[in-house]
Structure 1
């Protein structure tokens, strides 16, 4: 995605700014005490965990908190059309970015970025930050999977800002590209799954065929051995009788 974005920005008049300069606010959330049921049970406020950032676009969350949980924790409301960045998380989560399409709250491992849409297109910022995934991980404090981003790192991160109409066109192109990529990936996955299923079915039939042949051969062998033993016993009796 980075190479595509670079081409789309080529020839555009851009102004480099930090995220801190273009954001209305950058802040993290919190987690209500999980040992207090009244903070979670029958909750109606969407609460996003860092792992959900991998979805890319957030229309709903797995968990909800109550008004009491919100009041007694560091969780904060994040308005829709904001962006979240994973400050920490397992595996490849750190540095991932997601677009928020509902009002929600987040845990402390997510940084929320809110914007004035009259000044900057939040979807453009999303696409740019998505292209910066490897760079965001590299600037993380610590080494390997144990590193972490912080709000200061996010605030000081620089982004090229073209005119709003150019931002909107870039978003249109990249959204279309993302949709096509997702569709092709789904089709390829379906084809591979179908081919694998057919191959497994064929292998199962081969297994059953050779298993049945082997069992049939064993039955014949056992029967032949039994007949041979019976014939040997009969011959012995006949010899004894004749003597």
Structure 2
């Protein structure tokens, strides 16, 4: 996004062509600075002190959303919060701005924006225009990226007529609601699978059915991979081998990868081609990543941050996959390290699993197949909606 230049009666405005939703006619929409159309209420935000951190009805917001609920508030109204630091800067899939309404508290990690009364700026439109804004050229800081208030004031957004803003926001609201519905359906299907697992085998954390326990390493081989040298372009150019990283394990059933490596990378490094139905365990990773599990539905390699439990005829991959999913907190909690808490191959190999006979494990497969087929339909629909939303966001906001 370019900065504004002065000159005409609309000071600091430049124009950009945008498609009019009503009939495909191209119009030029002015680009305006946030500092000209928004009140920036940063002076009112303050970090919450321990004395005020009492559980209550008011949301306490930070850079990425609600941090807590407390018994006090400093804002009351319709606002857009924009991450100052700690946000998802550079991540095109997660928003750096979000809409809030009503009484709330905001800490000093989020800028607080409100359209000026005479700006003719719709607040929902403002939120969408900032949601995936590229702030990479505006942030400063050597060890931690920070979007300061001066940079926020210089940020520019396209400003169509108010009815057009409202129409754009309504379209994006509708798609967002459909995306949320599909995600809720997928979550319910996941919960259904977990419920059927517990019904058939019991809760693996409690083991109320009294199954004997066996370590993973006693019935399966556990390996890891490697990261081919990034400086050797031959390892990545025209790559044909899917290469899985920990962030992709969250998908659960893994059908593709973000990156591919070459056959040369397989032969020259410690990367191994893993078979279908390999169980993947995220051993490293920020946030919720460590301890998550997935199951390969393609042949793929992996980096050293993933543990790979190889399939064999001694266990059912679907049984082990959902067993580990239900014990996410237990597995994650075994992480070791001073500077960064990680799992390792020894921890994964020694993790105990309920020793359910293989023929009983296999009764779980038809249950999984039915639910996974429904889930696959929902995921495909979700992907189409997300592509549609991304395309519209690009069209409207560049």
* Unaligned 5+ runs, structure 2: 1-190, 203-207, 383-398
Tell me which residue corresponds to 1:139: 334
1:12 Cα deviation (Å)? 6.3
Matches within 5 A, 1:27-38: 27-38=223-234
Tell me which residue corresponds to 1:92: 288
Mapped to 2, the partners of 1:76 and 1:131 lie a distance apart of: 28
CA change 1:183–1:102 in 2 (3 A) is closer
Matches within 5 A, 1:191-210: none
Q: Tell me which of 262, 265, 273 is aligned to 1:77.
A: 273
Pairing 1:39–2:235 present: yes
1:182 Cα deviation (Å)? 8.1
Higher relative contact order (CA 8 A, sep 6+): 1
Matches within 5 A, 1:45-60: 45-60=241-256
Mapped to 1, the partners of 2:334 and 2:195 lie a distance apart of: 20
1:31 Cα deviation (Å)? 0.6
Task: Give the structure-2-normalised TM-score.
Answer: 0.42
Matches within 5 A, 1:59-74: 59-74=255-270
Pairing 1:16–2:213 present: yes
**Would you tell me which structure has more helix in proportion to its own residues?**
1
Mapped to 2, the partners of 1:151 and 1:12 lie a distance apart of: 28
Q: Tell me which of 341, 361, 364 is aligned to 1:170.
A: 364
Question: What is the DSSP-based 3-state SS (H/G/I as helix, E as strand, rest coil) of the residue aligned with 1:34?
Answer: coil
Q: Tell me which of 121, 131, 145 is aligned to 2:316.
A: 121
Mapped to 1, the partners of 2:350 and 2:216 lie a distance apart of: 6
Matches within 5 A, 1:218-237: none
Question: What is the DSSP-based 3-state SS (H/G/I as helix, E as strand, rest coil) of the residue aligned with 1:115?
Answer: coil
Mapped to 2, the partners of 1:137 and 1:147 lie a distance apart of: 9
Number of aligned pairs? 186
Note the alpha carbon deviations across 1:161-194, whole angstroms, 9 max, x for none: 2222321223433555566678789999xxxxxx
1:15 Cα deviation (Å)? 3.4
Note the alpha carbon deviations across 1:5-47, whole angstroms, 9 max, x for none: 3332149684321100110x11110010111111110111111
**Which of these two proteins has the greater Rg computed from alpha carbons?**
1
Note the alpha carbon deviations across 1:58-115, whole angstroms, 9 max, x for none: 1121211112222222211111111110001121111110111111100000001112
* Unaligned 5+ runs, structure 1: 189-243
